[in-house]
């Protein structure tokens, strides 16, 4: 049972990664009226709420990846 | 050292001392390189990993706060995303759409991560960190990723 569950989990992770990359590329190319990811991040950085969210995500990601 | 770095960064905010700025930049880069070098040899769930990651995190946040010169938040996130050449009315929908998309995807990733985190066994429900083990298990890659993480953290504290 473990293997099918793992395969399904990995497939969902792959789909999420593809969605993230696809959105970044679409934004870069200006497709579907999307703004580039860099502009989104700079826009988030220009507000207190956005910057706070970025810092929290960055801190969590670093701790999770390198320390746990 | 951390307090000195933060104090120096505060004085840099006045833009008066270029040599001090260069020295602090060098100290910051050396400290980041040293931290990354130690982090590259540490293993997760150990004290060295906790210390190197925690130290980098605290220093970047403290130095970033000192560097911070936030303007008054007169803009919303959606309008801030817009290109300057785009009219405020024409562009606000695209900016809002982009923000909604990325917030939605971030929430989706977070939700799926949490679902896997509380599920077991880990082998059947890999989390992001267990997937990243492929990269972080190698010393050089781990050091490079750690450096990139520090650089990303520092970028977040730049001026808008």
Give the tens place of pLDDT for each residue, B55-84. Answer: 999 999 988 888 776 554 555 666 666 554
The answer to whether position B78 is within a domain reads: yes
Task: For this complex, say whether ipTM is above 0.90.
Answer: no
pLDDT score recorded for residue B1: 45
Residues B14 and B35 in one domain: yes
Report the percentage of chain B scoring pLDDT > 90: 30
Q: pLDDT tens for residues A28-46?
A: 998 888 889 888 888 888 8
Whether residue B9 is found in the same domain as residue B59: yes
Chain A residue closest to B135 (CA)? A65
Q: How far apart are CA B155 and CA B13, in angstroms?
A: 16
Angle subtended at Cα B156 by Cα B95 and Cα B51, rounded to the nearest 5 degrees: 140
- B61 lies in the same domain as B80: no
Look at residue B148 and tell me if it is in a domain.
yes
Domain total of chain B: 2
User: Chain A contacts of B73, Cβ < 8 Å?
Assistant: 46-49
Whether B107 is in a domain gets the answer yes
pLDDT of residue B115: 95
Contact with chain A for residue B107, Cβ under 8 A: no
User: What percent of chain A stands above pLDDT 70?
Assistant: 97
The answer to whether B61 and A59 have CB atoms below 8 angstroms apart is yes
Query: Closest Cα to residue B46, out of B159, B154, B142, B150?
Result: B142
Among B39, B102, B121, most A C-beta atoms within 10 A, so best to mutate, is B102
CA atoms within 13 Å, Cβ hemisphere of B119: 16
Give A-chain residues touching B108 at CB under 8 angstroms.
16, 19
Question: Cis (ω within 30 of 0) for the bond into B112?
Answer: no
- Does one domain contain both B122 and B142? no
Residue B88 contacts A where some CB pair is shorter than 8 Å: no
Tell me: do B24 and B88 sit in the same domain.
Answer: no
pTM of the model: 0.75
Do B98 and B119 belong to one domain? yes
Residues B63 and B86 in one domain: no
Supply the range of the domain harboring residue B97: 73-126
Q: Specify if B131 maps to a domain.
A: no
Contacts of B158 in chain A (CB under 8 A): 45
The answer to whether residue B77 is domain-embedded is yes
pLDDT at B92: 63
Whether residue B41 sits in one domain with residue B87? no
Cβ-defined contact of A66 to B49 (cutoff 8 Å): yes
Whether the CB-CB separation of A40 and B158 falls below 8 Å is answered with no
The b/e string for B99-138 (b: 16+ C-beta within 10 A; e otherwise) is bebbeeeeeebeebbeebeeeeeeebbbbbbebbeeebee
pLDDT-based confidence at residue B4 (cuts at 50, 70, 90): very low
Does the pLDDT of residue B119 top 70, yes or no?
Answer: yes
Range list of H helices, B76-138: 77-80, 88-118, 128-136
Residues B2 and B57 in one domain: yes
pLDDT at B152 over 70: yes
Distance from CA of A34 to the nearest CA of B (A): 5
Q: Are residues B43 and B86 in the same domain?
A: no
Instruction: Tell me the C-alpha to C-alpha distance, in Å, between residue B5 and each of A35, A59, B26, B28, B126.
Output: 36, 20, 11, 8, 39
Residue B15 lies in a domain: yes
User: Is B92 an interface residue toward A (CB < 8 Å)?
Assistant: no
């Amino acid at each position: 049972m473990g293997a099918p569950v793992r395969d399904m989990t990995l497939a969902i992770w792959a789909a999420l990664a593809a969605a993230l990359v696809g959105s970044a590329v679409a934004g870069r190319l200006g497709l579907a009226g999307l703004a580039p990811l860099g502009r989104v991040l700079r826009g988030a950085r220009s507000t207190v709420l956005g910057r706070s969210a970025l810092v929290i995500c960055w801190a969590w990601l670093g701790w999770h990846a390198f320390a746990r | 050292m951390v307090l000195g770095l933060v104090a120096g960064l505060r004085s840099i905010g006045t833009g008066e001392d270029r040599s001090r700025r260069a020295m602090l930049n060098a100290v910051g880069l050396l400290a980041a390189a040293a931290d990354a070098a130690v982090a590259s040899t540490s293993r997760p769930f150990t004290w060295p990993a906790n210390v190197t990651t925690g130290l980098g995190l605290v220093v970047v946040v403290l130095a970033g706060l000192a560097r911070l010169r936030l303007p008054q938040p007169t803009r919303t996130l959606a309008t801030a995303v817009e290109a300057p050449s785009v009219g405020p009315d024409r562009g606000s929908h695209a900016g809002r759409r982009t923000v909604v998309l990325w917030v939605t995807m971030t929430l989706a990733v977070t939700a799926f991560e949490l679902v896997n985190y509380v599920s077991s066994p880990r082998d059947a429900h890999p989390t992001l960190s267990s997937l990243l083990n492929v990269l972080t298990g190698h010393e050089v890659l781990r050091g490079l990723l750690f450096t990139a993480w520090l650089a990303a953290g520092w970028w977040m504290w730049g001026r808008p």
